[in-house]
Amino acid sequence: MPQRELHCVVVTPEKAVLDEAADFVAMPMFDGELGVLPGRAPLIGRLGCGELRLRRGMEVRRFFIDGGFVQVRANTVTILTARAQRAEEIDVNAVSQALHAALAPAPTPQAHEEQFKAQQRARAQLRVARHRHEQADHR
C-alpha cells in the first residue's frame, strides 16, 4: 500500500528549519509553482523565491523561501534554501522599505540586476505576508 503522507524537510546552512509530515506540499520553482502529493516520482529541481505551503489536514502553513534546491524522493521532500522564514515572521514594514530601496534607479547594469533580484525577493515576501492575512480573514 502506498504511503499516504509526505515527509517535508527544510534546511538552511544555519539550521534545520522544519522536519515534519504533510499531506501536500507546494513550492516555488524557478519557473512557477510545483505541487507535490504522496507517491510522486523522484525529482531534483531548482527553486525560485516565493511561498512554500504545507497542508496537513485542514491546516496550511506558509513559509517564505529564497532560492535553492529541492529533492523529492521516496515521499520525502527535502528543501535546501539560503533563507527560510515563517509567514508570521515576515516584517512587512522592513520588507516594504527594502522594496522601496530596490526600486531606486541603479547606476550600473550589474547593480541593476541585483536590484531586480532584490525587488523580486521583496515582492515575493510581501505576497506571502498578504496570504497570511487573507487566511486570517477567511477564518
Partner 1 sequence: MANTRMLVNRRKAVRNIRKITRTMELIATARFKKALDRATEAEAYTRKITELAADLSASATNLSHPLLQKRDEVRNTLLLVIGSNRGLCGGYNAGILREANQRLQQLRSESANFSLELSGKRPITFFRYQGMKPERTYTQFEDKPRFDEVEEIANRYIDGFIGGKYDRVEVAYMKFLNAARQTPVVETLLPLSPSAAQRERPQGERAVEYEFLPSAADILQELLPVSFKVRLFKCFLDAAVSEQIARRVTMKQATENADEMIKTLTRQYNRARQAQITKEIAEVIGGAAALE
Residues that bind partner 1 (CB under 8 A): 11-16, 29-31, 34, 41-46, 68-69, 71, 73, 78, 80, 82
Which residue lies nearer to partner 1 by CB, 11 or 99?
Answer: 11
Beta strand segments in the chain, E: 6-11, 16-22, 24-29, 32-36, 43-56, 59-73, 76-80, 84-86
State the minimum distance, in angstroms, from the CB of residue 19 to partner 1.
9
Return the CA Rg of the chain: 16
What is the rounded end-to-end Cα distance, in angstroms, of the chain?
A: 35
Which residue lies nearer to partner 1 by CB, 59 or 108?
Answer: 108
State the minimum distance, in angstroms, from the CB of residue 14 to partner 1.
5
